[in-house]
Amino acid sequence: MWFAPEEYDARLERLRERMRHEGLDWVLIFEPENLTYISGFFTNGYATSFGFLAVPMTGEPVNVVRKAEAFWFRDSRYPDSVVWWEDWQTVDEVVRMALAEAGVTGRVGYEGSSWRANARLINGMIAAYPSIDFVDVGLLVTALRFTKSPAEIEYQRKAGKIVDAMYAAAQDTLRAGTNERDFAAEISRVAVSAGSDWAQPGPISTGERAFHIHASYEDREIVPGDRAFLEFTPRVLGYHARAMRTAVIGEPAPEILRTYDAMVQIQESALQHVRAGVSCRPADAAYRDGMREAGIAENYINKTFYSVGLMLPPISWEPLQVTSASDFTFEEGMTFHTYLSYDGLNISDTIAITADGYERLTNYPRELMVIP
């Protein structure tokens, strides 16, 4: 198990508090992160091995697990009941069988927002059990994960140190004449050696693609004058930290230096508004007002914070974000990727909200990376 049994007990009780509030007898958990969070069971096969967790108001939760995953279930799960299924069974058959064996009745919540619970599955489940009162509970379980425990933040803190090591390696290996793939391979090697659970380094791009988020490395040779978009995203037991930096190959134009330095100061100013118990709105406004007042962007359109934590492929963020329309209160233990990205210049870090401010989990120097 990734955490002590007491931590899983506390998570289950928090979930049951929400179930009581919503008048639910059971909750069916389909999202892999939520299943892992509540039960402890983790497998890299979530994408191909359908499964879910049925949580009653009292008694043991029931895991529904593909038999081929038996080793990983026994290796990682927090003790509870299990219903096995085999590959000859369809997903619809598995759901019907599991609900019957678990004795699911009454008012039953399900995660309709999960990518693992498609419309066909949900509609078939509802049709098969007309006596059950099924209720889509949306993000009820996911929201539990927005506030992390100290043990969870420690995994993210370790991931943050890996980010810093990756940037130190980037400073030494990013050079004109290097192929993007070779650079990405070296950064991935450093990440895995430093403790990352996966070898994907995160978005890396140079040249024209460096002016756009979500690009990836290609068969391109880095040339003098290039700008490099770097966003390193290691994970430790599924827990993420990430940071964005911009590198310039050769001497940058003075205007680029001035703009980047201004963006760093805007971020620093915005973070002064961050602490537990305060609205997210002042920090967001500080980003947007700062970009306008510095003459960089009259209307900055990006989100400014989004929640990160336990994220398993294909998920890359938690559904809590700060935009100009957001209005929620920062809570101690929340962790965010907070960033500015504009016209090929990018600066970001991962932070944890504390009682009197925040802890920066990624700490590589924030100035523009100038590559000789």
pLDDT of residue 313: 87
Residues 39, 76: Cα–Cα separation, whole Å: 9
Rg (CA), the chain: 23
Mean pLDDT (whole number) for 282-288: 97
Residue pair 144/29 in contact by the 8 Å Cβ criterion: no
DSSP 329: B
Instruction: State pLDDT tens for residues 165-188.
Output: 999 999 999 999 999 999 999 999
Per-residue pLDDT tens digits for 235-269: 999 999 999 999 999 999 999 999 999 999 999 99
Please report which confidence band the pLDDT of residue 330 belongs to, taking 50, 70 and 90 as the band edges: very high
Backbone angles phi, psi at 232, to 5 degrees: -95, 135
* pLDDT for 78: 66
Provide the β-strand partners of residue 139: none
Structure tokens belonging to residue 223: 């040339």
pLDDT at residue 140 is higher than 90: yes
What is 273-287 written as a DSSP string?
T--TTSBSHHHHHHH
pLDDT at 226 exceeding the cut of 70:
yes
- Measured between alpha carbons, how far is 230 from 187 in angstroms, rounded to an integer? 11
Q: What percent of the chain has pLDDT over 70?
A: 99
The answer on pLDDT for 76 being more than 90 is: no
Q: Is the model's pLDDT at 77 over the cut of 90?
A: no
**CB-based contacts of 107: which residues, under 8 Å, 6+ apart?**
23, 24, 25, 26, 133, 135
What confidence tier does 79 reach under pLDDT thresholds 50, 70, 90? low
State mean pLDDT over 77-90: 85
Nearest CA-CA partner of 267 in 246, 248, 289: 289
DSSP labels, 144-200: GGGBPPHHHHHHHHHHHHHHHHHHHHHHHH--TT-BHHHHHHHHHHHHHHHT-S---
* Domains contained in the chain, CATH given: 5-145 (3.40.350.10), 150-371 (3.90.230.10)
Q: Is the pLDDT of residue 213 over 90?
A: no
Mean pLDDT of 93-122: 93
Question: What separation in angstroms does the CA of 197 have from each of 235, 316, 364?
Answer: 6, 15, 20
- Token look-up 């932070």 returns 351
Query: Averaged over 199-224, what is the pLDDT?
Result: 93
The pLDDT of residue 300 is above 90: yes
20-34 pLDDT tens trace: 999 999 999 999 999
Give CA–CA dist 90/128, Å, rounded. Answer: 14
What's the whole-number average pLDDT of the chain?
94
